[in-house]
Amino acid sequence: MNFTNTSWTTRVTLLAIVFSLSACSSAPPAITPPSVIAAPVVATPKPKPVIGLALGGGSAKGFAHIGVIKALEAQGIVPDLVIGTSAGSVVGALYASGKSGFELQELAIPFDKWQFVDWGMPNRGLMKGDALAKFINTTVARRSIEKFPKKFGAVATDLQSGEPIVFRTGDAGTAVLASSSIPLAFQPVSIRGRQYVDGGLTSPVPVRLAFEMGATFVIAVDISDKPANGSIDSSVDVALQTLAIMGEMIRRYEKPAADILIRPDISKLGSVDFENRHLAIMQGEKAAGLEMQRLKDKLARFGERQ
């Protein structure tokens, strides 16, 4: 037997096996394709409306604003900002200062119109208005407007330029007095060298100014009178009729811009009918109740229109 050939053959066979195993061990591992995992779907939150409450002017009929506020609070609808003209600025300032609708009603119960009568110079206006400014400042604990819990604006008319001006800072009593100074009834209010009178001359229901303040959804309350056909017997009647005539045309332009318009039925109340303030409050509450479902529906759909 040829052991040499056998040994050589064995070696070659062993080397072949070694190389074969070596090749197997160095082969790249099989690649497992990655699993496809869907990215989580994140729902886009609906934009939250910035609710503005625009309270119109109307003298004694302004008590209806209290009823509207009560109805809104009962349904958990809380405005982010408040803007008011004339009587609307009176109620609006007290509400924005932190008073609830029920607290406003409590203030209205003992109301005595004679506490606001402070006679002035007849050639400038029958009343000075200092009593009204003092009442506002006392009731809001002498805080300036920018210290209120809610953003607030009082709309007045610049007597020189004829433009509406919104007071958003400073002395609350002075701002409300300027907004409420019905020509002939009150003297014009001087602020930093400018003269101001009732905001109803230029913005009787301040819807567009509410949007300018930052509201994205406006609830407007219109308590105005249409021009009367009856007798006009006093200087106050003349002033109120003048405001009604001018305001009617402006309201036709302003009101369609509101998301919700609340119009209390207070046609039986006069502009100086302070004795029937309880009826005005009830009518405001009733009118807001009639619009409540539509208001809720519009708020629920707010994000869809953006």
* Separation CA 246–CA 48 (nearest Å): 36
In a domain, 36, yes or no: no
Number of other CB atoms surrounding residue 240 within 10 Å: 26
In a domain, 263, yes or no: yes
In a domain, 83, yes or no: yes
Q: What residue numbers bound the domain in which 298 lies?
A: 51-227+243-305
pLDDT in tens, the chain (306 residues): 444 444 545 554 444 444 444 444 444 555 555 555 666 666 667 789 999 999 999 888 999 999 999 999 999 999 999 999 999 999 999 999 999 999 999 999 888 776 766 666 666 667 778 899 999 999 999 999 999 999 999 999 999 999 999 999 999 999 999 999 988 788 899 999 999 999 999 999 999 999 999 999 999 999 987 666 666 777 667 766 776 777 776 777 788 899 999 999 988 887 677 888 999 999 999 999 999 999 999 999 987 655
Number of structural domains the chain divides into: 1
CA distances from 173 to 86, 136, 182 (A): 12, 5, 16
In a domain, 277, yes or no: yes
Here the CATH number for the domain that contains residue 215 is 3.40.1090.10
* Separation CA 54–CA 65 (nearest Å): 10
Q: Catalytic residue positions? A: 86, 198
In a domain, 219, yes or no: yes
210 close to 187: Cβ distance less than 8 angstroms = no
In a domain, 269, yes or no: yes
In a domain, 18, yes or no: no
Which tokens belong to 271?
């502009």
* Separation CA 48–CA 91 (nearest Å): 26
Q: Residues 109-149: pLDDT tens digits?
A: 888 776 766 666 666 667 778 899 999 999 999 999 999 99
pTM: 0.81
